[in-house]
Homo-oligomer: A and B are copies of this chain.
Amino acid sequence: MKYFISKLTILVISLVFFNFITAQQKPEYVIVIHGGAGVITKKNMTPEKEAAYKQKLNEALETGQKMLKKGGTATETVIAVIKIMENSPLFNAGKGAVFTHDGKNELDASIMDGKTLNAGAVAGVTDVKNPITLAYAVMTKSKHVMLSSKGASQFAKEQGIEIVDPSYFYTENRWKSLQKVLENEKKAEKEKHGTVGCVVLDKYGNLAAGTSTGGMTNKQYGRIGDSPIIGAGTYADNATCAVSCTGHGEFFIRYVVAYSVSALMKYKGLSLQDAGNEIINKTLKDVGGEGGLISVDKDGNIAMPFNTPGMFRGYIKSTGEKEVLIYRD
């Protein structure tokens, strides 16, 4: 009996120690994704819809994981992961983009490389299948950071980026949403958020962030939200973290949310978790700025704060940890 107890003690101690080591260990790579924050509750969801979202989020994470395992870079992984979500009608980005007031689809995207602090962004494109690939081309093939509307499309054509007929972005679901909003603008106020995003830490210690969106249902006047704005919707700096935001864009611009997380870490010494909480659950919550963000720091820590009922989100780490979540459990 005594022998058995001492064996058990050794086993317990070993397990505790192993867990401690695992928890402390910096993962080789990390991917975090979001598919938008908002009034996403069990009530608004069918089991089929829920399964479809989870399946697509898993597919995006697993695709990214395969790339990173083989030595893929943070930026190329961000692009591949976001493309999967852009090509799905489930999310308000790419194929599933919502309609503007005039019944058009205007897409925005941005990407940032934390190693070089290079960045690229596009706003108001109507005929580019994957706006995230265009944002990457702006970053790598132009002298500029941000291109807009027809000029951005012209650049896409010159770069040989896949162009589609604007009708590609027609989905019945989004069209109905616009009609519903047009019938009663105020009632649908809460439905306006929707974005996809991805942040990555790769094997080389580099961070990258990307965000893509179809904008706001019923948006007018060439409105630009936070998604294509470096500092507001997207930021990455190897010295601190990579961040992608989703929510009521106007607040995210005014509070420079993505960059704020980095600044709180760099200048105030906060952890990733505390920095994200401060901006999402204090600053923005106090002023009614609805939304959330995903983030990963240079040590592979992650944080996914949001102040809405739900946020489509998930992460995967080289250590084997993985989760895909929708609601505020």
A118 to B250, alpha carbons, bound, how many Å? Answer: 9
Q: List 12 A-B contacts (CB under 8 A).
A: A142-B221, A144-B250, A145-B254, A146-B223, A148-B148, A148-B223, A151-B221, A231-B231, A231-B253, A231-B259, A263-B267, A267-B268
Given known A254-B230, A259-B256, contact A148–B119 (CB-CB < 8 A)? no
Tell me, yes or no, whether A124 is within 8 Å of chain B by CB. Answer: yes
A223 contact from B151, B253, B268, Cβ within 8 A: B151
Q: Is the CB of B256 within 8 A of A231?
A: yes
Q: Mark A105-146, 1 if CB is under 8 A from B, else 0.
A: 000000010000111000110000000000000000011111
Measured CB to CB, the nearest residue on chain B to A143 is B250
A187 to chain B, nearest CB (A): 16
Q: Return chain B residues, CB-CB under 8 Å to A250.
A: 143-145
Interface centre among A155, A235, A250 (most CB of B within 10 A): A250
Interface centre among A150, A230, A235, A249 (most CB of B within 10 A): A230
Q: Is the CB of B253 within 8 A of A222?
A: no
A237 to B298, alpha carbons, bound, how many Å? Answer: 30
A185 to B255, alpha carbons, bound, how many Å? Answer: 38
Residues of A164-208 whose CB lies within 8 A of B: none
A260 to B262, alpha carbons, bound, how many Å? Answer: 11
What are the 4 closest A-B residue pairs judged by CB atoms, nearest first? A151-B222, A151-B221, A267-B267, A148-B222
Given known A117-B255, A119-B254, A267-B264, contact A144–B229 (CB-CB < 8 A)? no
A232 to chain B, nearest CB (A): 6
Measured CB to CB, the nearest residue on chain B to A275 is B267
